[in-house]
Structures are given as structure tokens and as C-alpha cells.
Amino acid sequence: MSVSIEDRWVKVFSPRSQASLRLVCFPYAGGGASIYRGWADGLPPSVEVWAVQLPGRENRFREEPYRALEPLADEAVRVLASRLVPPFAFFGHSMGAVLAFEIARRLHRAGLDLPAHLFVSGRTAPRTPNEEDPIHDLPRQEFFDALRRFAGTPEEVLQHEELMAMLEPILRADFAVSETYEYAPGPEPLPVPITALGGVHDQEVPVEKLEAWAEETDAGFRRYLIEGGHFFINERRAQVQSIVAHDLAP
């Protein structure tokens, strides 16, 4: 049986036919759907995890990755909107957080069903100016050094020439998506509760820039700080899952 592009957009590693809510998870730069493999095990049986698979990675590695957020968000809405039957929620880390946010905004503008909750993790609030120097167009060695500072790519991967030959274009494209994003003010905040999560030692996302996510909702805001750096989502996965389960509870 052939797989349509729509089917390739979502991976469900632990199907739960009796689930009452779908948690749609968006990956960070360079990540694929597999970063959310096993997430269902740490969530209530009522939650089914849908891991979004973006073009250019894992089973979609032959496809060209997007280099700008706007067309990526537009295409994600086109593909996912008809499949998002309430109740559902969004979770995104780093690049995935702003992608989830912009998809929710597009659904809102179109008068379509909205997520019951939006979890934004490891990302400064969208209307907060980005003061970091962009890295997506740096020369190769400088780009690799910048990746080391983020501590998200293992050194053994950075040293593996064949593997990095495949990963580098995806990483550059994803950083371009994140770094060229420009917030466009909307007519009103989202009528969706937002939970923002940050790493205590994440120098890229200081707490005041995390707090500013409160400006994007008129339906309630919570903020959590978790021990760890930018990739606390991997270092403290059980704690992140516990927060998600808590904030999704009625």
C-alpha cells in the first residue's frame, strides 16, 4: 500500500485507539519524529502522541527541507488541519515551539478547530527580538563550532564525515527557519492556554524571554523551569512528560 505525503507527516509510535486526546509534537532543529518515540509511555493512557515528521529527515530524507517558517507552517496546516479532530494539543521544542505556535495562529485565523493547549519548550517568546547572531550561513567549521555550543549534536556525530554530510543541509535549513522567522502581530491573543518550559541553564532562553509567552494567550499561562540546558527535553524527559500530563488534566 502506497503512503501519501499526508501519511508521511505524522508518526504514531504507540497507537491508542481508545485515546481521548492527541498530543501533536513538533521537533527541534535537525530532529525527526523519532525524538518523541517512547513519549506515550510517560503520558496517561488517554493521550496518543502524534510525532510530526518534517521533510528532509528520517523516512523523508529525500525531500527538500524548508528554509523559511511561513511556507512550512502553511503546508503543515494544509496537511494536518483535516486530521486534527478535537480534542488535541500541541507540543514543540525550540524551532518546533514557534512552528506549533504559528500553526495554531493559522488555524485561529481560518476559524478552524484549535488545540486545547499549547506547550512551548526551549524557545524565546515570538515577539521578543532575537539578539543572537545567525549561524545557518556560517562557514562549515564555524557552523559546527556553533552546534557544539548548543550541545544538541553529539561530538561523535560532528566528527562523522559521512553522517554530517547528510545532516548538515537539514540543520542549516532548520536554523534558517528559526533564525529568519519574523513575528507578525495578530489582531488578538490566542484563545488557547499556553505552558512555557525552559532550562535553568539554557543561556539561549533566559527566563524573562520565556515569560513573554504570556502575551500570546488570553486563556491562561503557566511557566516551568527545568534543571538542564537547552536540551532538557531529552535530559529530563520524565519531568517534561509529568508537566504535560498535569497541564492537560481536566
Residues catalogued as catalytic:
94
Calpha distance 202→74 (Å, rounded): 30
Task: For the sheet with 21-26, list strands across it.
Answer: 10-11, 47-52, 21-26, 88-93, 118-121, 194-199, 221-226
Distance from the Cα of residue 204 to its chain's centroid: 16
Cell 533564525 sits at which residue?
Answer: 179
Helices (H), 110-236: 140-150, 155-158, 161-179, 207-211, 232-235
With contact defined as beta carbons under 8 Å apart, do 84 and 24 qualify?
yes
Distance CA 52, CA 206 (A): 27
Between CA 194 and CA 178 the distance in angstroms is 20
- Per DSSP, the chain holds a count of helices (H) and strands (E) of 9, 7
